[in-house]
Amino acid sequence: MTKKSTKKITSSRFDAADYLDSEKMIAEYLAAALEDSNPDVFLSALGDVAKARGMTKIAKDAGLSRESLYKALAPGAKPRYETVRKLMDAIGVKMTAQSAVNV
């Protein structure tokens, strides 16, 4: 009888914030999130970017408390446009619109 070797496999939870390490990556990530019709996807993406940049810093730059930032980005939250705009400015990205019709 041979003894079987068992290896312990470890894994860690995926965290998008770990990969948001450039302006281009952040912009592409948010643009992809905007394509989803579920607003929670975009708010979650904003939260990932804020986490990557530092929640305290983003909250301060947006003129919000950390608690307000967490509430605004919570699943099911309905933040005001003004709040989203402040977050976008603090992150350093802007929203643009383009035609959905190929001309």
Whether residue 79 is contained in a domain is answered as yes
Task: Look at residue 2 and tell me if it is in a domain.
Answer: no
Residue 16 CA, chain-centre distance (Å), reads 8
Structural domain includes residue 55: yes
20-71 tens-digit pLDDT: 999 999 999 999 999 999 999 999 999 999 999 999 999 999 999 999 999 9
Instruction: Name the token pair of 63.
Output: 């003129």
Report the alpha-carbon distance of residue 97 to residue 39 in Å, rounded.
16
Domain-located, residue 68: yes
Count of domains in the chain?
Answer: 1
Can you give the pLDDT at residue 1?
Answer: 59
Q: What is the pLDDT of residue 2?
A: 63
For residue 75, pLDDT beyond 90? no
Looking at residue 8, its pLDDT comes to 85
Model-level pTM?
Answer: 0.80
For residue 33 the two structure tokens come to: 């999130």
